[in-house]
Amino acid sequence: MGLEYKTTGVLHLGAIGVIIFYLLTASFPKSYAVGAVLFFIIKGIAFTIMKQNPLSALDTIAGIYLMFPVFNIFSNIILNIIAIGFLVQKGIIYLFR
């Protein structure tokens, strides 16, 4: 039971690291950043349905929002920090659960 939380925490922090690195440098392949964003969207939908956890729906919302800066459509530094901060704290909670 604890291993699934630790795995999810590592995946969360790794995916958010890819997104942060891409947004700050843009020298990272865009496909990695899109894959990381899709991870949050798919994980959020799956966990919301399987575990009936409404907080997992926020993963989906944060993932959908982060798709905009990754594709250079819309980027607001405050909203980026809020979405990334939420996902980082959720990853840390999963890691130390």
Residue matched to tokens 């982060």: 66
pTM given for the model? 0.88
- Are 3 and 89 in contact, with CB atoms under 8 Å apart? no
For residue 1, the model assigns a pLDDT of: 56
Residue matched to tokens 């944060």: 62
pLDDT digits (tens, 9 = 90+) for 8-27: 889 999 999 999 999 998 78
pLDDT digits (tens, 9 = 90+) for 29-84: 899 999 999 999 999 999 889 888 788 889 999 999 999 999 989 888 999 999 99
